[in-house]
Amino acid sequence: GEGDFPGAIDGVKRLLVDEPSDLDALLTLGNLYSLTGRISEARDTFGQALQREPLCVEARIFGGVAAMQAGSLAEARSELAKALFLEPTLAIGHYLLAQVQERTQDFESARRSYRNAVAQLKYPQRPLAGHYPEMLDSAESISRAARYALAALEEQPG
């Protein structure tokens, strides 16, 4: 549960002292900061991941999630768009982008992005580096969530 996050942060930080270039650990640390509301630390950590690996899709995906949690929806949209530019077949990226578009009342784009998420699931999805507790991770769960969201949006005018 959430009570474990401070301990988890310490554990991952210790790991990074021994293995400073461990991208998995860096991404996980960023996510733990994000989940505990330490958004500027999350941003810094994803920035470090991008310095090490400039084309790191996960740093953009998770950075987008952190921005979304902070209510910085323009930043979230920008990060997720960069992830999808690098990896257009990543269903979770389309799904998360749809969530941002929905929160900005851009229902037309949200519907398109949810449909893209479902369509990309025809292709094998790779597991993301780093760990994000409660992130939709199976094709099945992404598909179900996207279809539900799409059905709800069909009720919306426009």
The residue type at 93: G
47 touches 75 (CB < 8 A): no
pLDDT for the residue 2: 52
**With bands split at pLDDT 50, 70 and 90, how would you rate the model's confidence at 7?**
confident
> What is the spatial distance between Cα 19 and Cα 61, in angstroms, rounded to a whole number?
23
Per residue in 110-133, pLDDT tens?
Answer: 999 999 999 999 999 998 998 887
Query: DSSP for 77-96?
Result: HHHHHHHHHH-TT-HHHHHH
At the topology level, CATH places domain 2-154 in 1.25.40
Q: Is the pLDDT of residue 13 over 90?
A: no
The residue among 27, 31, 107, 118 whose CA lies nearest residue 67 is 31
Dist. CA 70–CA 64, nearest whole Å: 10
Entry pTM: 0.88
- pLDDT tops 80 at residue 42: yes
Q: How far apart are CA 90 and CA 84, in angstroms?
A: 7
Angle at which helices 39-52 and 23-35 cross, to 10°: 160
